[in-house]
Amino acid sequence: MVVVGTRDMLPLLGPETADVTFEAVWWWGRLTRWDVACRLAPVVAGEGILRDVRLETIVEVSRWDLDLAQYLVRAWDGDPQTLAATVKDAGPGELAPPMVLSHPAWTARPHGDVAHLWDGGHLELWQNEHCPSPHSLIPTLDQCVWAAQSRVLLPWIESKRQLLVQALVQRFGEPKVNAAAARAADDPTPIEVGQLFYVVRALPTTDAPAWREASRQLKAARNRLAHLQTLPLDDQARLVAACARLGQDVGHGGGSI
DSSP letter for each residue of 181-250: HHHH-SS-SS--HHHHHHHHHHSS-TT-HHHHHHHHHHHHHHHHHHTT-PPPHHHHHHHHHHTTTHHHHT
Per-residue pLDDT tens over the stretch 177-192: 999 998 877 766 789 9
What is the pLDDT confidence band of residue 252, given thresholds at 50, 70 and 90?
low
- Of 67-76, 77-86, 118-127, 137-146, the least confident: 118-127
- What pLDDT, on a 0 to 100 scale, did the predictor assign at position 57? 96
Res 16 pLDDT > 90: no
Q: pTM of the prediction?
A: 0.81
